Structure 1
Amino acid sequence: MFTYKDTLQNDVTIYFEKQNDEADDVLIIPRLPEGWLFTEHKIRGLEFPGGKGEKGETNSEAAKRELMEETGATAEELLFVADYLVVSSERTFSKRVYATKVRKLEIQADYLETSGPVILRGELSRFIQQPAFSFFMRDEGMVQIVQRAERILSNKN
């Protein structure tokens, strides 16, 4: 377990074991052979794909759908990384984080609220702190999540 205040001063708790059957939102950390796959949100900047599940959708279904919608990628096996809880005066929510290797990447006609996929090479935990990344990608909790995702995916080789 890891607790901290994010950049918006919300209380955040990260759990490295599943907390509930399903979380409110999902986040996917995708890996291609040539690098890490991000999406470029039109307002926030570079970030991992993710979002809210639709009615009746499981977290894994939501993760696969969000990954496809925002990047055009198809996931291999979804690997649990963490659950986290954000307590905010505006919205308290839980998020399930998965890591996956990408099976294929296809160009989409529309990437919805994003400008589509961005592939970056290198050690993930070193470059997510850069200003081009979304503010929530740069918080100390994301560093913990990213390091765990790197270990999980490297163990799947």
Structure 2
Amino acid sequence: MFTYKDTLGNKVTIYFEAQEINPDDVLIIPKTIDGWLFTEHKIRGLEFPGGKGELGETNLEAAKRELMEETGATSEVFHFVADYLVESEERTFTKRVYTAKVASIETQADYLETKGPVILRGELSQFILQPAFSFFMRDAGMVQIVKRAERILRDKN
């Protein structure tokens, strides 16, 4: 478990074992053969694909859908990375984080609120704190999460 305050001053608790909850949101840390796959949000900048689950959708179904909608990518194998709880005055929510090896990427007519896929090479933990990345990416918790995702994918090879 890792607890900290995010850039907005919210209390965040990250659990590295799946919790007995049904998280509201999902986040996917996808890896392609060429590098790490991000989406470019039209306002926030570079970030991992993800979002809210739809009514009746499992977290895994939401992860597959969000990955496709925001990047055009598909994957059949998703690995649990973490659950995290964000406690704020506006909204308290939970998010399940997965990592996945991307099987394919197809160009989409519309990437919804994003500009589509961006692939970057290198160690995730070296560049997520850069200004081009969404403020959601630039905090101590995300550093812990990406290090764990890198380890999981390295161990699966």
TM (norm. structure 1) is 0.99
Alignment of 1:7-156 (within 5 A): 7-156=7-156
Q: CA deviation at 1:75?
A: 1.1
Deviations 1:58-109 (A, max 9, x none): 0000000000000000013110000000000000000000000001000000
Instruction: Give the aligned residue type for 2:77.
Output: E
Q: Which segments of 5 or more consecutive residues in structure 1 lack a partner in the other structure? A: none
| Aligned-pair identity (%) | 79
Instruction: Give the aligned residue type for 1:138.
Output: R
Q: CA deviation at 1:21?
A: 4.3
Provide the rounded CA distance (Å) in 2 between the counterparts of 1:30 and 1:112: 18
Instruction: Give the aligned residue type for 1:147.
Output: K
With over 3 angstroms needed to count, the CA separation of the structure-2 counterparts of 1:104 and 1:130, relative to structure 1, is same
Deviations 1:8-49 (A, max 9, x none): 000000000011242100000000011000000000000000
Provide the rounded CA distance (Å) in 2 between the counterparts of 1:82 and 1:68: 21
In the alignment of these two chains, the number of paired residues is 157
Larger deviation, residues 68-77 vs 19-28: 19-28
Instruction: Give the aligned residue type for 2:64.
Output: K
TM (norm. structure 2) is 0.99
Secondary structure of 2:103's aligned partner? strand
Provide the rounded CA distance (Å) in 2 between the counterparts of 1:132 and 1:67: 20
Instruction: Give the aligned residue type for 2:102.
Output: V
Alpha carbon RMSD of aligned pairs, Å?
A: 0.6
Provide the rounded CA distance (Å) in 1 between the counterparts of 2:64 and 2:55: 15
Provide the rounded CA distance (Å) in 2 between the counterparts of 1:18 and 1:34: 29
Provide the rounded CA distance (Å) in 2 between the counterparts of 1:32 and 1:20: 30
